[in-house]
């Protein structure tokens, strides 16, 4: 996958803090920022999917024992 450069501005102390973490974790500055941004977007997508599932929930629920029984019966 071809990467594209993007400029992001950080205050000097923010950049130093991120760079310290990158050094500590053995990653590049870019890797740390990229991973953080992607995790934020994934979290937002997960929250949206959760809210959609919650809205479609009909209230029916099963105990763990019931789920295990259903799984056994399906085999």
23 domain-assigned: no
* CB-based contacts of 13-22 (< 8 A; 24+ apart in sequence): none
Res 21: pLDDT? 98
d(CA 34, CA 39): 9
Domain count, the chain: 1
d(CA 60, CA 53): 13
In tens digits, the chain (75 residues) has pLDDT values of 899 999 999 999 999 999 999 999 999 999 999 999 999 999 999 999 999 999 999 999 999 999 999 999 998
Res 1: pLDDT? 84
19 domain-assigned: no
75 domain-assigned: no
| Residues spanned by the domain of 41 | 29-53
pTM over 0.75: no
67 domain-assigned: no
């Amino acid at each position: 996958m071809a990467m594209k450069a993007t400029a992001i501005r950080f205050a000097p102390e923010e950049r130093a803090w991120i760079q310290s973490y990158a050094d500590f974790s053995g990653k590049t500055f870019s890797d740390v920022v990229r991973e953080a941004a992607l995790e934020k977007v994934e979290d937002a997508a997960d929250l949206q999917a959760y809210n959609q599932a919650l809205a479609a929930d009909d209230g029916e629920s099963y105990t763990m024992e019931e789920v295990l029984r259903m799984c056994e019966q399906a085999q």
